[in-house]
Amino acid sequence: MAAVTLSGIEKSFGPTHVIKGVDITIADGEFAVFVGPSGCGKSTLLRIIAGLDDPSGGNIRIGEQVVNDLPPKERGVSMVFQTYALYPHMTVEANMGFGLMIAGESQTTIAGKVAAAARMLGLGELLARLPRQLSGGQRQRVAMGRAMVRDPQVFLFDEPLSNLDAKLRVQMRTEIRSLHQRLKTTSIYVTHDQIEAMTMADRIVVLRDGRVEQMGSPAELYDRPCNTFVAGFIGSPAMNLIAAHVDLTWAIVDFGGEVGLADDLRTAPGQRLTLGLRPEHLRVLPADAPGIPCVVEVLEFSGADTLISCAPLDAGKATAVGSNQIQALVHDRLAVKVGERISLGIAPELVHVFDAASGERL
């Protein structure tokens, strides 16, 4: 059980500068998720913490100790790999006990610890099987069991669920989360899937291009994303990011129409903005109501919700940052039809406002 502190971590592979100065503190017992698009450096960071790669600069502290020069075994970390990395020629029991065996523990100790972990993970019946005889989810659990058995200070997870099908993924998410609640071991979890991040994390670290964009609890990141990248990354379906400019207390939207701004916002007259409107916050209003007028293009009905994709009335208008549509998510069964004209409205306090040039929150 320990806190993990990264100070000033840099990493270059030859001429490629992958990690560009990262400072992260993870508290003892916290479940932290590193999330970001491919190539942002999250897996590299994890491997640096694990000791599989060395940083080009900066320090890693586990607990009070600087572990830069320590091999993985002595850092007190255990890792669950994306591809599980089970030893194909060993039984489940041997797989889970391998680390203990080479550390010289006695047979009885090993058997006891393995049995305990197997019980916790529901693997009791499978101890004599070989990895090739197991399903994906079972292999996942063996990988976790192997990590658990060594009773580490920090658990590291490298995209462990990406090889599972969707349904299994949802199930395993819950299991990992409940396991964390039981064991309370500090965990660092890497994923590219922001839903996993949101549902599992105590603290999320959003990474892009080797730098930390924002750190905080899921609620913080959802309610107050600090820039357009985090705003567009967190939340599903993705936040609508549209271009606008300031006119008194209104934002005149390039797409068409206007959106009310909150009172405490500090903007300059005529300033170019990027507005962040979450699909779930947009309300569908009659075509003549104040808001953003548009035309319904696609309706995606998924049982509980309907995702409405709308196009601008004037097709020639330069619209959103990167997309020609605004999406709204509604929970009620509305009588909207494709081709119908509607207006989209939103409460001013739910509008995220970013400076169009810098992308920073205002």
Partner 1 sequence: MSLRKTSPFLWFILPAVLVITAVIVFPWAFTLWMSLFEWKIGHKAVFAGLGNYTELMGNRRFLESVAHTLIFTALAVAAPLVLGTAAALVFNQKFFMRGFLRGAFVLPMMATPVAIALIWTMMFHPQQGVLNYLLSLLGVGPSEWVYSPRLAIACLVMVDVWQWTPLVMLIVLGGLASLPADPFEAAHMEGASRWQTLRYVTLPLLMPFIMVAAVVRLIDALKTFDTIYVITQGGPGTASETINLYLYLQAFSFYQIGKASAVVVVFFVLVVALSYLLFWLREKSKYYE
Asked if 350 touches partner 1 (CB under 8 A), the answer is: no
Asked if 333 touches partner 1 (CB under 8 A), the answer is: no
Asked if 344 touches partner 1 (CB under 8 A), the answer is: no
Q: Rounded distance, CA 309 to CA 319, Å?
A: 14
Residue from 113, 146, 169, 208 binding partner 1 (CB under 8 A): 146
Contacts 24+ apart (CB under 8 A), 336-341: 336/284, 336/296, 336/299, 336/308, 337/296, 337/299, 338/296, 338/297, 338/298, 338/299, 339/295, 339/296, 340/287, 340/295, 340/296, 341/287, 341/293, 341/294, 341/295, 341/296, 341/313
Tell me the DSSP string of 265-295: ----TT-EEEEEE-GGG-EEE-TTSSSEEEE
Residue with tokens 């000033």: 8
- Residue pair 217/240 in contact (Cβ under 8 Å)? The answer is no
Residue type for 177, please? Answer: R
Smaller CB separation from partner 1, 126 or 296: 126
Asked if 13 touches partner 1 (CB under 8 A), the answer is: no
Smaller CB separation from partner 1, 11 or 146: 146
HSE of 253, CA atoms in CB hemisphere, 13 A? 33
Asked if 141 touches partner 1 (CB under 8 A), the answer is: no
Residue from 103, 219, 262, 338 binding partner 1 (CB under 8 A): 103
Asked if 54 touches partner 1 (CB under 8 A), the answer is: no
Asked if 104 touches partner 1 (CB under 8 A), the answer is: no
Smaller CB separation from partner 1, 110 or 198: 110
Point out which span in 65-73, 206-214, 228-236, 328-336 binds partner 1 (CB under 8 A). Answer: 65-73
Point out which span in 1-9, 84-92, 171-179, 235-243 binds partner 1 (CB under 8 A). Answer: 84-92
Q: What is the maximum alpha-carbon separation in the chain?
A: 78
Point out which span in 75-83, 181-189, 279-287, 298-306 binds partner 1 (CB under 8 A). Answer: 75-83
Asked if 139 touches partner 1 (CB under 8 A), the answer is: no
For residue 156, how far is the Cα from the chain centroid?
A: 15
Asked if 203 touches partner 1 (CB under 8 A), the answer is: no
Smaller CB separation from partner 1, 71 or 270: 71
248 Rama sector, left if φ>0, alpha if ψ -120 to 50, beta otherwise: left
Distance in Å, CB of 150 to partner 1, minimum: 7
Backbone angles phi, psi at 23, to 5 degrees: -120, 120
Smaller CB separation from partner 1, 62 or 308: 62
Instruction: List the interface residues with partner 1, window 21-50 (CB under 8 A).
Output: 50
Contacts of 133 by beta carbon, 8 Å cutoff, 6+ apart: none
Q: Rounded distance, CA 350 to CA 329, Å?
A: 15
Asked if 132 touches partner 1 (CB under 8 A), the answer is: yes
What is the spatial order of strands in the sheet that 57-62 belongs to? 16-26, 4-13, 57-62, 65-66
Residue with tokens 């972990």: 117
> Going along 101-239, which residue ranges are E strands?
154-158, 186-191, 203-208, 211-216
Smaller CB separation from partner 1, 89 or 317: 89
Distance in Å, CB of 209 to partner 1, minimum: 26
Residue from 14, 69, 102, 333 binding partner 1 (CB under 8 A): 102
Smaller CB separation from partner 1, 191 or 214: 191
Distance in Å, CB of 26 to partner 1, minimum: 19
Smaller CB separation from partner 1, 131 or 279: 131
Point out which span in 30-38, 67-75, 205-213, 283-291 binds partner 1 (CB under 8 A). Answer: 67-75
Binding stretches for partner 1 (CB under 8 A): 50-52, 71-74, 77-79, 81, 83-89, 98-99, 102-103, 130, 132, 146, 150
